Structure 1
Amino acid sequence: MKIVVIGGTGNIGSKLVPQLAQHGHDTVAAAPTTGVNTLTGEGLTDVLAGASVVIDVSNSPSFEDSAVMRFFETSMRNLLAAEAAADVAHHVALSVVGTERLPESGYFQAKVAQEQLIEKSSIPYSIVHATQFFEFVASIADDATAGGTAWLAPVLFQPIAGDDVAQAVGRISTGSPLNGRVDVAGPERFRMDEFFRQALAARNDPREVVTDPHARYFGAELSEGTLVPGSDAILGETRYSDWPGRTAA
């Protein structure tokens, strides 16, 4: 089975492509560096020829509100049109747990728009909502930092290893389309502020973490359950304390 991974050279894509290939699938990594650009449509017709499944794990190069909306809407329309012309049987998209609960954030508004385009298309689909990746701990802390202090809310937080996300997406992509969503998350649940105190300490990061119930997360205020999955979520196996990148600078 031919599977095309849009964003196949990125954080999740670079893990997903070899996993699928090891299971005998004809897997193609598609990205601007390989001549495929969903924003312009370049290379889509050729790369999707004969594809049964398309997995979209791409992300916007800019998180500025108008740019990220333009990226997800334009690239999604181009990709879905090319998939329809190629008779693709299953579209799989990676999104974020809590997307629909964060309307204040321009990024999450754009992810909602992306998902709506998928749901309205004629192509059978599966949308995978993942919690925050372990690999994004540093960037989340940086976004929360002002004046050398990280301000974080004491809300529930259940991050997941990128490898576990890739495994879940791969399994879903080779099954029947869900025509709906599924959540994937890490095996442990924390308080966000406490998690980051421990995570930054493990990296020898001197920043103080201050608990602030009104601290913003990429522009949005969080409630207790905004970032955690439903009770039927698929759980990864990797604990943060066992993750090899935990102490990376």
Structure 2
Amino acid sequence: MKILVGVKRVVDYAVKVRVAQGTVELANVKQSMNPFCEIAVEEAVRLKESNIAKEVIALSIGPKQCTETLRTALAMGCDRGIHIQTDLRTDYMELQPLAIAKLFQQIVAEKEKPDLILLGKQGIDSDCGQVGPMLAGLLQCPQVTFAAKVESKDNGFLVERETDAGTESIHIQTLPAVITCDLRLNEPRYATLPNIMKAKKKPVETILAETMGIDLTPRNPVLQVMEPPPRKDGIKVADVDALIDKLRNEAKVLA
């Protein structure tokens, strides 16, 4: 079995995002692997360690610096990487989910033909959560989103997914399939120094996005980006009656 796992480079989760000149500032900002993609990589590597998969391929779309993110995935245990290089921003400003899904589709359908595609449930920059479902639609294959547990069963996968009402289990019996990974699925490992050194020797193939014949034009132009208004200072009230009065007459949250 071959697994393809998506790896996205985003502004690090610990960085406070800044807005400058109508867009999110990326210059001199620390970027790292999307946390949900880390979970997808970890799950793919665990499936390989369980002898369910024989090869794990990491795929990333973005600028030259994405090779650093791919090397992290390789250090975690992926066998090789594919970098679709483009200077377009992947945080929804320029390269949007449908175009990303079509780039993935071409690699999946025409080049690699994996049995399973693992993706993070969403990128923490755009929070769209659309690439996985769109990719499954383009491939006309089964999908399970928000996976909290994945186990091999009857030549397929039994996936427990999270919903607003709890969890449900779905048995995927037809491959290839797309699974998007949620937080409870696993805890990603740290890349050790020996594995980081080994990752430098693993192959990473670079493909220019412009040569793939896919329309990358944004379908939803971003007109303006603004920082949220600063939160007002809190106040202290003398007693419960004063609190209720504030909530009813000023905050308008009580009838």
The structure richer in strand per residue is 2
Pick the TM interval, shorter chain: 0.3 to 0.5
The two structures have a TM-score, normalised by structure 2, of 0.35
Structure with the larger RCO, 1 or 2 (CA within 8 Å, 6+ apart): 2
Quick check: which has more Rg, 1 or 2?
Answer: 2
Q: TM-score, normalised by structure 1?
A: 0.36
